[in-house]
Chains A and B, each alone.
Chain A
């Protein structure tokens, strides 16, 4: 049964098909290892919505709640603070919240909130994810002589106003994100669920 003539075309076909099938097998075998790095079922379950009591937050105060282990700032803004928002617009990067990824539709307004006084934002700088400091007082600060109150990131000096809108000329590229949330009643909000979903 000795092959007198070697069929090179056939041999190349067999080599290539073996390599392709083997390659597909290798790729398929890699998938489970890559997928194993994704958040586990337990980590995802820990990301469930949370309901928090906001009745104890006085005007001008900020309280940080944890949702999906992310710090969520809830700020009860004063009339004074709200009055400053309009005048800041020329100094902001995205004053009209045009970037739709950064907030749900119901928070696409000047105060970036459902109720004007209540600001709910994820307290992670959009630059590299540090937690910005809450600097609410309307007075000159070392980092901004014309400070109208807001958030200041100690890591790379990004600044946000009291609606979480980012200033121009700082490292952060976007406004602080507003998480999905809704008012369960006047003193409770649920973070992680849109008003519509809640019915």
Chain B
């Protein structure tokens, strides 16, 4: 064993140091809290999606005629097929749970700020690819919601002036979502996008390890005092990833798997949230489901699309709003000019704005998922439900975009009153 190690080391002398730099001896601030679980959990879910996905392709049939039945075949006849599929479908939803919390952590502690803008941008690209990946994966079972979800999402491109209608046909390869659409989405879902996703994850981590992790105090440990127990040249407030954070993350993994297992075994559809009821009937291009709604993780963005009315004879404004809501997140490092990173030392305005962002995001999710459409007639009988829902949804859309505008005004014009940031992390020694 030692001989083999020497043999490799002689031929690739940089391998071991690279491994130590990025894995075992990556020095991270020692004050990571619960919010820092979600990065490693995202990798765990990614591995789960790849492994279960590979096994699903072994029995899935890529054809508009056979896809739906092959998924039922996996569920009923393939040994343990139900488990593999539920691991994949639950994993998809939990991927977004983990990623949303991971992103919120970044906003809350200012992890997107200089010098980590590149880490943030790469993360946003991962988020975009992940959304495309999830959307195409949802089309594959070729249920009725798969079909109509695909139709609505692809139609978004039809709102682009001039090239729109042609573009829609080009994406679908037919006049409606059809066999050609299913096949190309399969190719993208299992080959193209996973490759892009893996590459982006590697770049995301490489970029992170170059600048070092942020922490709940937003203190720059790299620029603080040097010399810890292991290395005199490393920051005093940092600890090696292994064994400290490997062990910590294992606790998170255990807890996460407990929740995941509960969902997989007892509530795989999660009451119609993770797997929608309408998707248990085969695709039918002549019958629209009563309520077309996307998977829950798209609902906030979908609500923005719905709430913006069309004017000047085009529906593109909603589409611009929807993509703009994601673009705003990507632009955060340049919108937020504040010097202080962590919410712990930022002004009251920032804390309130952050709360507004969370409330508007969740509210838009409820609008997009049709929760408000059900509740409003119950709570306000006799009122015009559509008008009330639109009013609520539009206020929340304004609140969502308001966060980004407020942050820019608040920090650009120096209105923020921050607290002094300590020299070292608050929990040292």
Residue numbers of A with Cβ under 8 A of B are 34, 37-40, 43, 47, 64, 66, 68-71, 99, 126-131, 142-143, 154-157, 169-174
Contacts and interface: CB of A to CB of B under 8 A. Distances in A.
Given A71-B286, A155-B292, A39 B175 contact: yes
B254 to A, nearest CB: 42
18 contacts: A39-B169, A39-B175, A39-B180, A43-B174, A47-B175, A66-B285, A68-B175, A69-B178, A69-B285, A70-B175, A128-B152, A130-B148, A131-B287, A142-B377, A154-B292, A156-B306, A172-B310, A173-B311
Q: Please provide the 3 A-B residue pairs with the shortest distance between their CB atoms, ordered closest to farther.
A: A173-B310, A131-B288, A129-B155
Interface in B120-163: 148, 151-152, 155-156, 158
A174 B313 contact: yes
B176 A130 contact: no
B386 interface: yes
Interface string B292-330: 100000000000001001110111001000000000000
A37 B173 contact: yes
Contacts of B46: none
A157 B288 CA distance: 13
Given A40-B173, A69-B176, A172 B155 contact: no
Interface string B18-40: 00000000000000000000000
Nearest to B165: A101
Contact of A38 (B170, B290, B311, B313): B170
B358 interface: no
A156 B305 CA distance: 10
A128 B174 contact: no
Contact of B309 (A37, A68, A171): A171
Contacts of A174: 313
Given A38-B169, A43-B178, A155-B288, A128 B386 contact: no
B388 interface: no
Given A43-B174, A64-B286, A172-B310, A128 B169 contact: no
